[in-house]
Chains A and B, each alone.
Chain A
Amino acid sequence: MTEKSGDNSRCGMLSALLIACGLAVTVFAEPAPPSWSPTSIFAPVSTPAQSILDLSVFVLTVTGAIFVVVFSLLAYAVVKFRKRGADSGEPAQVYGSTQVELAWTVIPILIVVILFLATARVIASIQNAVHPGNAMEVTVIGHQFWWEYRYPALKVVTANELHIPVGEPIILTLLSADTDHSFWVPRLGGKTDLIPNHPNSMWMDPRETGLYLGQCAQYCGTQHAKMLLRVIVQTREEFDRWIQEQSRPTEVGDNVSEGQKIFERTACVNCHAVAGTAAKGRYGPDLTHLMSRTTIASGAAPNTLENLRRWMQDPSVIKPGSKMPAMGLSNPELNALTAYLGTLR
């Protein structure tokens, strides 16, 4: 029985080692290609995310080495000192040793000092970074359950899809309109919380164009799960063109004026704004250039006319717990509204 249990533990240790190796391989793998996971912390594309990764790899190396040493000692003890049938009597009674205790106190202290110094340097390099005076600022406001983006210098307000130019430092001011949220796009940087009454900020300088995904990382209520982040990094020219389009007032054709009237006489205007019209609500996303966005409901569904119509009919079908109520509109009203929203480019 004793013999058998010894073998069992050895198998256990071996399988545990295999699992650990599996983990280690995953962890030490080269920056994951976006096709594998678009949100991996191991594929940074901005300075803060890169310096976090460099520090992380150092920490993983040190902790990995400690694991290998201590695990080997444990495995050796389990195999070597398990009771065998022939053993009789008690083993030598050893009570301790000052030299050994000193050794395994001093060595860990040295390791901690090294890790601490490396960490303190990276904290300072990210949190105390000095930005050029002309760095672009964007105000991010967390809402239950969507993101509002304001470009104060450019007088643009948009929602849920953040556009920024490539290769420039961007400073995000983080505010919250209601509960706590957290802005986390792993490939662009670590997360920072958006806390009401407690303005925060973070920065990033993406070095590659593309779409970067993330989502709210601090529990904020029923639909915390579908508060998705989409950051679109563009060349300076593309970004300037986007800003121009966003700054233009919308033009409404006569063929959709029916939908506009419905929009303006129902509760829609209490929460939503469309520049140049009577709609000035700020509780929900700004709809002035709704159709320039690829998703609705903070990334919960693609922005198509069918989805817009479904959304207005009953938001809880797409996003149960959303703060937008079902508007109780008739089919003709829904069609007219959908046609109107479809022109807000």
Chain B
Amino acid sequence: MSTESIASPIPDVEPRPLVDQLHQWVTTVDHKRLGILYIVYALVFLVIGGLEATIMRIQLMRPHNDFVSPEVFNRMFTMHGTTMIFFVAMPLVFGFGNYLIPLMIGARDMAFPRLNAFSFWMTAFGGLLLYFSFLGGDGLYGAGNAPDVGWFAYAPLTSQTFSRGHSTDFWILSLLVSGFGSVGTAINIIATILCMRCPGMTLGRMPLLAWLNLTMAGLVILAVSPLTAAQVMLLIDRYLGAHFFDTQAGGSAVIWMHFFWIFGHPEVYVLVIPAFAFASEIIPVFSRKPIFGYPVMVAATLCIGFIGMSVWAHHMFTVGMGAGANTFFVLSTMAIAVPTGIKIFNWLATMWGGQIHFKTPMLFCTGFLFQFLIAGLTGVMLSVAPFNWQLSGSYFVVAHFHYVIVGAILFTTFGAFYYWFPKMSGRMYSEALGKLHFWLFIIGFHLTFDFMHIPGILGMPRRIYTYEPGRGWDLWNLIVTIGVFFQAAGVLVFAGNLVWSYLRGEFAGSDPWDAWTLEWSTTSPPPSYNFAVIPKVKSRRPLWDLKHPEDPDWHYE
């Protein structure tokens, strides 16, 4: 493989008019551009979802507050949850997957570029449908605007009887449409990884990121399909008089819970496995050591994928399942802790004996390790069904899953932003602003989500728009709200850093981190064809082999 010829500068071309450039972005089938579209789209919704969370936290700052009405509060938590899962986390996962997978396996694009574009636009319009409900949700009844049934939309609250107007319809349609996009991208990722690897890249030499995304894509297909089926059934209930979930006509509310959570729990792994993927790429590079126990990491990932399909009813310990069913789901849920623990130990072992460079990406990954440890342990507590009878549906659960989604997934994603920003933009970000972002965000995160556990164990349920004084919840709620403003400041610094660095940052060069995977062998940003010459690899770290011809990895693998 010759890096010299690949890294040669691209000849300057006359900049095209703005309309032309926009047209190119809209019609693009290039995996890198679609990846960036996904990411930018997710960032816009991150800000919207964050504003919704801020409104809720201001309302809950003190007991009997009347900042917003109960109707508005209920819409806010429904929209916040739906937005953050389907239109922030999923697009971020797909955006980075799209951008990185072909580059890391030495391919020129995804297997199905046009399906890729179709999937992105389905997701994009799904989000617009959801937010159009603010305008169109009133329907003929003048009832409600945005959906207010909660992000898991338990039956029968979603039936025509309890949810008039069209807000619930917009919620159903937006998830249906974006679900098709998700399945399309998942098929694309699987096909790309199985069929498009460059010569020499056996499955056992793929970067871990590719392995983890392969598992994620498999889970998307298995998990999103039942959700889509359930949405269709709900739509038929609402408009064609079926009674799947209509309890007044003999339907079953519990069946909806099973449908939703057989999607909902694997969805957690859909989001967290790509977060593991970022950590598995960033931690070795900044520790200057190869990932510890590569085959074990792959096995643990597949294990999480398989067991992850059989744990869903731990969301339902309080719905009156028998002792037998409860016991089964306790065991399957606890079993997940083993492969997850193995992963944490392998990352630790990767850092052990290394020379850890605490650049911004590594700071975020270290934060991730610490927070994911706690999130895993509170997860074990919640898997203990009797303990869960107290904790389920309380603020302890809210704190726990935000520890996973923010403390683990968002932290590694911020790390990934800083790590691959030089590749995507060709410019270095500001290290000082990056560190400021990290410290603001980690302080805000711990103020908010550490103290959020406490009202939960003191009996505060989630989804209440206000609460009674004298329950011992007031102080904790105030601290939680204060933390939000630190997090918001962190995100502002982050956005400023991205914009400033994109316009004014130093040129990054093709390999600013002295890294080892193929995306660093091409220019920053890469040309539309990625590689002038398709690379050949002999080990898991092709650029290490190139830089250390005296001691290549393929001697040991």
Contact = CB atoms under 8 A, between A and B. Distances in A.
Contacts of A122: 386
A13 interface: yes
A116 B326 CA distance: 11
B55 interface: no
A338 B447 CA distance: 48
Interface string B530-557: 0000000000000000000001010011
Contacts of A167: none
A204 B557 CA distance: 61
A116 to B, nearest CB: 5
Interface stretch (B29-37, B112-120, B367-375): B367-375
Contact of A215 (B289, B296, B352, B461): B461
Interface in A207-229: 213-226, 228
A217 B392 CA distance: 9
A83 B471 contact: no
Interface stretch (B129-137, B166-174, B201-209, B316-324): B316-324
Contacts of A108: 337-338, 341-342
A2 B358 contact: yes
Interface in B374-401: 374, 377-378, 380-381, 384-394
Contact of A91 (B355, B377, B461): B355
Contacts of B229: none
Contacts of B391: 41
A190 B459 contact: no
A198 B457 contact: no
A95 B458 contact: no
A221 B393 CA distance: 15
B197 interface: no
A35 B365 CA distance: 42
Contact of A55 (B155, B292, B386, B464): B386
Contacts of A55: 384, 386-387
Interface in B235-249: 247-248
Given A5-B363, A78-B356, A214-B459, A224 B470 contact: no
Interface string A282-299: 000000000000000000
Contact of A63 (B359, B380, B470, B472): B380
Interface residues of A, number: 105
A56 B323 CA distance: 18
B381 A120 contact: no
A195 B320 contact: yes
A125 B248 CA distance: 34
B225 interface: no
A109 B551 CA distance: 38
Interface in A125-157: 126-128
B71 interface: yes
B303 to A, nearest CB: 10
Contacts of A193: 318-320
B162 A179 contact: yes
Interface in B302-348: 318-320, 322-323, 326-327, 330-331, 334-335, 337-338, 341-342, 344-346, 348
A201 B464 CA distance: 24
Interface stretch (A97-105, A231-239, A240-248, A249-257): A97-105
A51 B357 CA distance: 48
Contacts of B459: 37-41, 184, 186, 213-215
A232 B351 CA distance: 57
Contacts of B327: 119-120, 123-124
B248 to A, nearest CB: 7
Contacts of B380: 59, 63, 115
B253 A198 contact: yes
The 10 nearest A-B residue pairs measured at CB: A190-B389, A39-B459, A37-B472, A225-B464, A200-B320, A196-B247, A96-B293, A5-B358, A127-B323, A217-B461
Interface of B: 69-71, 74, 148, 150, 154-157, 162, 247-248, 250-254, 287-290, 292-296, 318-320, 322-323, 326-327, 330-331, 334-335, 337-338, 341-342, 344-346, 348-349, 351-359, 363, 366-367, 369-370, 373-374, 377-378, 380-381, 384-394, 431, 435, 439, 442, 446, 450, 453-454, 457-468, 470-473, 551, 553, 556-557
Interface of A: 1-2, 5-6, 8-9, 12-13, 15-16, 19-20, 22-23, 26-27, 32, 36-42, 49, 51-52, 55-56, 59-60, 63, 66-67, 70-71, 73-74, 77-78, 81-84, 87, 90-97, 100-101, 104-105, 108-109, 112, 115-116, 119-120, 122-124, 126-128, 174, 178-180, 182, 184, 186, 189-193, 195-198, 200-201, 213-226, 228, 320-321
21 contacts: A5-B363, A16-B446, A23-B450, A37-B471, A37-B472, A38-B471, A39-B458, A39-B459, A63-B381, A77-B351, A81-B352, A91-B288, A100-B349, A116-B331, A123-B326, A180-B154, A193-B319, A214-B459, A224-B465, A225-B464, A225-B465
